[in-house]
Structure 1
Amino acid sequence: MSHDPALKKITISDPEQKLVLQLDYSNGCKITQLNVKGKNVLSASGIFTGFSTKGGLFNSTISVEEVKVEKSDNKISIKNIIYGDQSINVNESWNFELVGNKIVWKISRKYSNLAKLEETAFPQWNFANLSIWKGGILDNGGMVWCKYLRGVNDTYGIHTGGVTFWNPDTGNALRIKAISEGKHIAAKYSQSDKNEFVCTHFVTGEELEPRYNLNRFVNQRSDVFVPFDVQKETVNLTLEMEYVDYAVEYSRGILPGIDAEAVRELMNTTGRYGVVDNGIVGANGWTTNWKCLHEPFFSQIGMALNDGNYIRNMSLTLDRERDYAMKEDGRVLSRWHNAGEDQIPGTFNYKTGYYEARWGYTIDSQTGYVINAAEQFDLCGDKEWLQSHKASCEKALDWLIKRDSNGNGIFEMMNNSIKEEKASDWLDIVWASFENAFVNAQMYGALNLWADCERVLGDQEKADYYTTVALKLKENFNKSIHDGGFWSPEKKQYVYWRDKDGSVHGDNLVTPVNFAVIAFGLCDNKKRISQILEQIEKRTTAENLFHWPLCFDSFKREEVSAGNWPFPTYENGDIFPTWGYLGVRAYVGYDKHIALKYIRNILAQYKKDGLSSQRYSRKTQEGQGSDILAGICTSVTALYRDVYGIRPKWNRMGLEPNIPEILNGTEFNYTLRNTDYRIKLNVDGYEMQTDKFTVKCRENFGASFEEGLMVYPQNKEKTILKVCGKSSLPIGVTLKHCSENDISWKMDSTDDYQFVIEGLNPALKYKLVIQDKSTNIEIGKDGKASFTHNCKASMNFRVYGK
């Protein structure tokens, strides 16, 4: 820190001078330069504090009294910054301190009176232009994307203050953490009339309300929040600023065969864009203020983003949906929006924003809520949180289970016929009705996921019930269309829906339907899978499409709204990459190379246009629609889940890869519940490493550490190997083989170890083999066996029963 009293200038720098502030207090007080690795990123307006009332605009650049400065070794205090008028003024002090590589700025503001403020700047950061940063990664998992602040005063307001601004071209990033004990923090991001990119922080006693309906984003208006009251009190804010090496901090690792930079940028932009605000994680995003609850992939996006902030926000989102979007009978409302123009009359809640869409009752909101809740549990690992969603998930499932009027195990929509011209799922201007294969495929996935959650919660009766319901659905779903099912033996595909009168619709090779049937495990018939996927690949390749269209042939005119005509148009034949993850998941077990091709196609398309469209024209393959869909990133989330095999579970980290040879040598870090894992993948073996253990295996597995290493062969809980060392040295295990009643492994580390194997059959007699020496081992009635051994070198073990 340096202080020039004559010029009334202060310079503050982090130890490596990657972040340097220059401050001027000659008239009032403002930061005139913020140098990020040698480049000033501010406009001439700089950074200042302030507020506005109906009586005027006041800020720290002009103080009515002389500013006072006090300096010590690594601290500097600027006091007596006074501004305002007769009705309300403030007295501020700014304190700067160096803490490691951070510059900590503490603002203390004393209000002279009770007043209503129109705006506040606590502070206001005025960056030179909208190209200084690509955007800002928010500390609720979302992002502000500078290119969408297109017009003067276009403004995005959000109820959090932490942000990491980044520029991928320079590799520079600026992280700002905002803390105010006992107060609410908000921020808004906008373009000024000087083409500046402006970030303004708010600190208030009550959470700020949106000024215009429930809008978080508004065009050509900077006043996104309502006026608010301040008390005669002192309000404090701490801002921690630090330089971040963006390429290192957000590295996706070593990804042979994959454009790692495109993965990073796609996930940090489109993938995060669906976060509208705290408690509103969706996929339509903040420029249109929309979220569809009938989308089952929000938690999966969190898995691929690997951002604890997003995961925490997703838990909060599901809490809000449980509390505000679920009706007493278990019906889950289908959407959230800022205003009611899209509602079925009388369904919009003007306080919460949840409602039913005018296109029809989209029943996949039932399955979307349950799938997201179950997959969110695997990420957060919080059993109390899961317990809080037990009754609501059961209500959501039971609401749909009751919609089986004919008892055939296939669940019915709220519309009966195409004549009603209403939708029943995500394709909201296609008149799918009565027995809908797309919704029922998702229901099958939801039932099985939730059955697993019931087992974790100890309710085996409920788990068995939902499993039984799923099995009945599977049996009847897979019947021929001539026998009441959805399989068309003539067309070798699953049809979309059946009206109540028995008429069959949607045999035009609808991709999300057929993908979902395979991806959710409803169809496990290898011949059928081959027939479906061969058709789709042949036709996609013939048209040279970069991604799969919603359907290959046209719906009938009476089956869709006028906006879908003539074919191919919109939901009748255009390309919606939102459902890419279902395609990748379907193909990965059939042909990994095809799955990988479409992932790489999506990444190539991102490099062309940023993937910030609603859809792509079937005819031109160019982006269409003003409504950006964050779900376009799901082909990349499937890269992590279904190719790299990232399968977190509530009590462990899991690996279930399906990688082709071209991806050999893949290495990346993955953080799950504050544990950092180093993942290494090759076709002939996988490795998971933390600072406490290393596990290697040629098959799927899971692992965790709590008072010892727990290894889960096949990433299941049927058999568990537990290894505890006498010392605190890292434990190394190579899991060689595990099948029913037979497990073998090699210890790659040395120590005195206690071994426990769970999940054995107590009715069998078991042998323990250590380095080819065999002995009997006792199995308890609980299926556990244990023994100790001093491993002075690498050693092989096997426990098997006969």
Structure 2
Amino acid sequence: MPKKIVQFLFCLLFTLRVSAYAKYANTARISPYAKTVTIAVPGNQLAIVIDYSEGCIIKQLRIKGKNVLSPAGIYTGITTKNGIFLSSTAVENIKLSKNDGVIKLSGLTYGDGDLTVDETWEFKINNDKISWTIIRSYNKSAELEDMSFPKYNFSNLTVWKGGILDNGGMVWCKYLKQVDDTYGVHTGGVTFWNAESGNGLRINTKADNGDVVASKFSHSKNNEFTSTQLVTDDQLQQRHDLSRFVSQKADIFAPFKVKKGVVSVQIDLQYVDYFKEYSKGKLPGIDAIAVRELMNTTGRYGVVDNNIIGANGWLTNWKCLHEPFFAQIGMALGDKNYTRNMSATLDQERDEAILPDGRVLSRWHNAPGDEMPGTYNPKTGYYEAMWGYTVDSQTGYVINASEQFDINGDLKWLRSHQNSCENALEWLIKRDANHNGIFEAMNNNIAEKKASDWLDIVWASYENAFVNAQMYEALNLWADCEKVLGNKQKAAYYAVIAARLKTVFNKPIEQGGFWSQAKKQYVYWRDNDGSVHGDNLVTPVNFAAIAFGLCDDPQRTAQILDQIEARTVKENLFHWPLCFDSFKKDEVSGGNWPFPNYENGDIFPTWGYLGVRAYAGYDKGIALKYIHKLLNQYKKDGLSSQRYSRATQLGLGDDILAGISTSITALYRDIYGLRPKWNRMGIEPKISAELNGTTFSYTLRDTVYQVKLGLTFYEIRSKKFSIKNNESFGVSYGQKILTYYCQNLETNQLLIKGRTDRPINLIVHTWKDQKMSWSIGSQDTYWFIIKGLAPGTRYTLTTSHNDVQQIRAKSDGTLTFMKNCDPGTKLLLTPI
């Protein structure tokens, strides 16, 4: 029989035997003659083709039938000082075996003659995932320059718009502009997505035995987009200073050691329907697609790496600690990975960026050059900015820590920040040298040409209204945290300081406050000689006064916001500028001249959340207008700029500021009213007619809530309960107890526990001191506990079953009773 026929029959017999395994029906095809294996998940949304003819390589990765890889495919390898050695070019005979649903490729050997790598690849189908295990053995301990464990070579930089990392950040493919531009992070999970097709690829890599995974993303010499993973005993160090991104250099990580022995990883490859998984829900009146893309790009871009969440982001390797909105961005994202990383970021700042006296260093950067002499720490990257002591880093740390606690709900974590937050506040409290209730900056006057806050080339000095507005917010937020921690005395202490600050802040400038009666605005600062500066309608100053509650005078609020709106409309601006009129020449750095230019009049959407928050309580139509305008701008240019020219409204600056997303985080916080608290989920919406019927899911601490917002009711659902109410409320569920918080406050609560595990359906009709009425939409026997009542007060309880009884609140203000309820049972409680 001719040799070719024998080979054909052998291949046919082998293929038939393999196909006899039920587990491989429609999921795996082995071609021993071509030495390829094709593995597909049920439905063929994801498939890979493995070539083991010469070494091992995954030569195709098909998403819905389309290959997304370049000819280089996916391979493993190492780089030593002697060269690059890859699994794709090994010449050893590869052995294929199959057992219990696992396809194994063994005998893969490569190296430089001194260091030898032996690998085994194992593949299996796990529901909708292809699980790939790589077992690698080193014949000796050695130092490597680089490794691929593995390396994915995608066909070009447009296959994916970007990748969402499992530390809450993202890689944005279009910013790997030049060959070898590389971004490296210390995490191993990524979800790549295509915003046009909705196709996504999730790669989840886990190492065994305590090893750690790092990833780097690069623009190859063949114009491919590459994703490379590295597995080591210890966390990799950076090669170029502390840089996570380096232009035109693929070697982002420093050389590292590997030990003799076995290292293994499990990689789960999974198709993701990006449109479905990252859906923002039904958002009437809002461009939900633009919201999704803005938050998944600009909103996430500020994550530089594990333990470093900022706003300047990874391209410039910068983070400003004097920005108070990082936790708020995490609130809007609702991503547990961002939340976890934000908690770790604050931990690192507590441990590395706060001096013994409580001073919070203002910045992190990959390399020296922006620092006050002698302040840069090359090991940690934290330092004081050369432009001046930006003392809003004190308030930024406290605000972020306080708001982060409401998201992570971790009392132990909060307690670990108690001393550092108290010290940070006390550092600034001590700055009130003249004891007038206003806290002073480190610089005294404009002659020093130093900054004191985020506007770092404006010489705001001594008594700074922007800093003090943030201080007011920090004091109040932290006072609430002290209450939760059981320290009522400290909570009262901060509340008293905040109240005094509010009183003095609102005084006319002639009496030591910041209010200009002549110009109907809050001025920016006062020098130590008493001279007043910044009466040029500085928007973050005036917005902060209203948004943080310092200004609660309706007349002043109207005077400020009407003035800002009239001038914004007159110039037809898509967003608010930093100031409407020019600073004086001696009040700013020369780079701000002529007006409008840079921090002297340009548009910085970073502070948009303050504007949205201020207008949401005054005229939510105006707040929504600028949210729409921002989303329209995103569709034009991706909002990937530092700022926008006042004259042309075109993007400017080398930085991409993640803070540009804050107007959209304010959409969630101040319009949709998402107000998670440490012990509950809360909503405090301001819904207009155009937003009626807004519906979305939101995940908080691993619970998925379905939120529906209408003009006449708000609703939150989970698998365990549903609550409808016509006003703000909070809800928690634990130990089979549903707790309703009226107005999302701790003071008045309704607790419900059923005899069975049936979901509890509650409709609250009204919850006032003189009348509390609610309905139960589920059948069960329920125990009701009401907290926050006047102690000893007698009440009449009436049900829709004509059951009437009188009950009395206990001395602690609680009232308890049990009722058998049918669907629709209505209860009414009124004081006698």
Indicate the TM-score class for this superposition, using the shorter chain for normalisation.
over 0.9
Aligned-pair CA distance for 1:741: 5.8
What are the within-5 Å matches in structure 2 for residues 304-323 of structure 1? Answer: 304-323=332-351
Distance in 2, Cα, partners of 1:407 & 1:739: 42
Q: Which residue of 1 aligns with 2:105?
A: 78
Distance in 2, Cα, partners of 1:174 & 1:406: 60
Residue identity matched to 2:216 = K
Say if 2:465 and 2:524, in contact at 8 Å, map to a contact too. Answer: yes
Say if 1:656 and 1:715, in contact at 8 Å, map to a contact too. Answer: yes
Q: Choose the corresponding residue for 2:63, options 36, 55, 58.
A: 36
Q: Which residue of 2 aligns with 1:273?
A: 301
Q: Which residue of 2 aligns with 1:226?
A: 254
Say if 1:741 and 1:760, in contact at 8 Å, map to a contact too. Answer: no
1:171 aligns with 2:198: yes
Residue identity matched to 2:806 = N
Aligned-pair CA distance for 1:760: 1.0
1:204 aligns with 2:232: yes
Say if 2:776 and 2:822, in contact at 8 Å, map to a contact too. Answer: no
Residue identity matched to 2:30 = H
Q: Which runs of 4+ in 1 moved over 4 A?
A: none
Q: What per-residue deviation string (whole Å, max 9, x for no partner) do you get for residues 542-594 of structure 1? A: 00000000000000010000000000000000000000000000000100100
Q: Which residue of 2 aligns with 1:757?
A: 786
Aligned-pair CA distance for 1:782: 1.5
Q: What per-residue deviation string (whole Å, max 9, x for no partner) do you get for residues 150-203 of structure 1? A: 000000000001000000101100000010021011010000000000000000
Aligned-pair CA distance for 1:792: 2.0
Q: Which residue of 2 aligns with 1:427?
A: 455
Distance in 2, Cα, partners of 1:757 & 1:798: 12
1:125 aligns with 2:155: no
Distance in 1, Cα, partners of 2:272 & 2:715: 29
Distance in 2, Cα, partners of 1:54 & 1:793: 74
Residue identity matched to 1:137 = I
Aligned-pair CA distance for 1:779: 1.4
Aligned-pair CA distance for 1:88: 0.1
Residue identity matched to 1:639 = L
Say if 2:154 and 2:224, in contact at 8 Å, map to a contact too. Answer: yes
Distance in 1, Cα, partners of 2:112 & 2:91: 10
Q: What per-residue deviation string (whole Å, max 9, x for no partner) do you get for residues 594-653 of structure 1? A: 000000111000000000000000000000001110000000000000000000000110
1:798 aligns with 2:828: yes
Aligned-pair CA distance for 1:778: 2.1
Residue identity matched to 1:744 = S
1:447 aligns with 2:475: yes
What are the within-5 Å matches in structure 2 for residues 511-530 of structure 1? Answer: 511-530=539-558
Q: Which residue of 2 aligns with 1:415?
A: 443
Q: Which residue of 2 aligns with 1:733?
A: 762
Distance in 2, Cα, partners of 1:513 & 1:279: 30
Distance in 1, Cα, partners of 2:548 & 2:828: 35
Residue identity matched to 1:780 = K
Q: Which residue of 1 aligns with 2:578?
A: 550
Distance in 1, Cα, partners of 2:778 & 2:332: 32
Q: Which residue of 2 aligns with 1:97?
A: 124
The alignment partner of 1:61 has SS state of helix
Residue identity matched to 2:748 = T
Residue identity matched to 2:572 = N
Distance in 2, Cα, partners of 1:774 & 1:608: 63
Aligned-pair CA distance for 1:773: 4.9
Q: What per-residue deviation string (whole Å, max 9, x for no partner) do you get for residues 761-788 of structure 1? A: 1143222222365422121122110000
Distance in 2, Cα, partners of 1:338 & 1:727: 57
Aligned-pair CA distance for 1:750: 1.8
Q: Which residue of 1 aligns with 2:645?
A: 617
1:647 aligns with 2:666: no
Q: Which residue of 2 aligns with 1:379?
A: 407
Residue identity matched to 2:814 = K
Residue identity matched to 2:777 = D
Q: What per-residue deviation string (whole Å, max 9, x for no partner) do you get for residues 276-296 of structure 1? A: 000000000000000000000
Residue identity matched to 2:103 = I
Say if 2:792 and 2:808, in contact at 8 Å, map to a contact too. Answer: no
Aligned-pair CA distance for 1:745: 1.3
The alignment partner of 2:89 has SS state of coil
Say if 1:655 and 1:700, in contact at 8 Å, map to a contact too. Answer: yes
Distance in 1, Cα, partners of 2:817 & 2:452: 58
Aligned-pair CA distance for 1:238: 0.7
1:664 aligns with 2:696: no
The alignment partner of 1:374 has SS state of helix
Aligned-pair CA distance for 1:42: 0.3
Q: Which residue of 2 aligns with 1:713?
A: 742
Aligned-pair CA distance for 1:739: 2.5
Q: Which residue of 1 aligns with 2:12?
A: none
Q: Which residue of 2 aligns with 1:215?
A: 243
Say if 2:399 and 2:474, in contact at 8 Å, map to a contact too. Answer: yes
Residue identity matched to 1:731 = I
Q: What per-residue deviation string (whole Å, max 9, x for no partner) do you get for residues 109-138 of structure 1? A: 000111110000000000000000000000
The alignment partner of 1:169 has SS state of coil
The alignment partner of 2:470 has SS state of helix
Aligned-pair CA distance for 1:95: 0.3
Q: Which residue of 1 aligns with 2:819?
A: 789
> TM-score normalized by structure 2?
0.96
Aligned-pair CA distance for 1:406: 1.1
What are the within-5 Å matches in structure 2 for residues 275-294 of structure 1? Answer: 275-294=303-322
Q: Which residue of 2 aligns with 1:142?
A: 169
1:676 aligns with 2:707: no
Residue identity matched to 1:766 = Y
Distance in 2, Cα, partners of 1:277 & 1:100: 31
> TM-score normalized by structure 1?
0.99
Q: Choose the corresponding residue for 1:590, options 610, 613, 618.
A: 618
The alignment partner of 2:117 has SS state of strand
Distance in 2, Cα, partners of 1:713 & 1:267: 31
Q: What per-residue deviation string (whole Å, max 9, x for no partner) do you get for residues 517-566 of structure 1? A: 00000110000000000000000000000000000000001000000000
Distance in 2, Cα, partners of 1:440 & 1:741: 40
1:508 aligns with 2:561: no
Q: What per-residue deviation string (whole Å, max 9, x for no partner) do you get for residues 374-430 of structure 1? A: 100010000000000001000001110111011111100000100000000000000
Aligned-pair CA distance for 1:734: 1.1
The alignment partner of 2:75 has SS state of strand
Q: Which residue of 1 aligns with 2:81?
A: 54
Aligned-pair CA distance for 1:62: 2.2
1:487 aligns with 2:522: no
Say if 2:737 and 2:751, in contact at 8 Å, map to a contact too. Answer: yes
Equivalent pairs, count = 802
Distance in 1, Cα, partners of 2:770 & 2:440: 43
Residue identity matched to 2:195 = P
Aligned-pair CA distance for 1:243: 0.2
Q: What per-residue deviation string (whole Å, max 9, x for no partner) do you get for residues 298-353 of structure 1? A: 00000111100000000000000000000000000000000110000001110000
Between the two proteins, what is the percent identity of the paired residues? Answer: 61
Q: Which residue of 1 aligns with 2:10?
A: none
Q: Which residue of 2 aligns with 1:779?
A: 809
Residue identity matched to 1:598 = Y
Distance in 2, Cα, partners of 1:299 & 1:800: 41
1:15 aligns with 2:42: yes
Q: What per-residue deviation string (whole Å, max 9, x for no partner) do you get for residues 737-768 of structure 1? A: 22336422121222111100011111432222
Say if 1:741 and 1:761, in contact at 8 Å, map to a contact too. Answer: no
What are the within-5 Å matches in structure 2 for residues 358-397 of structure 1? Answer: 358-397=386-425
Pairwise CA RMSD: 0.9
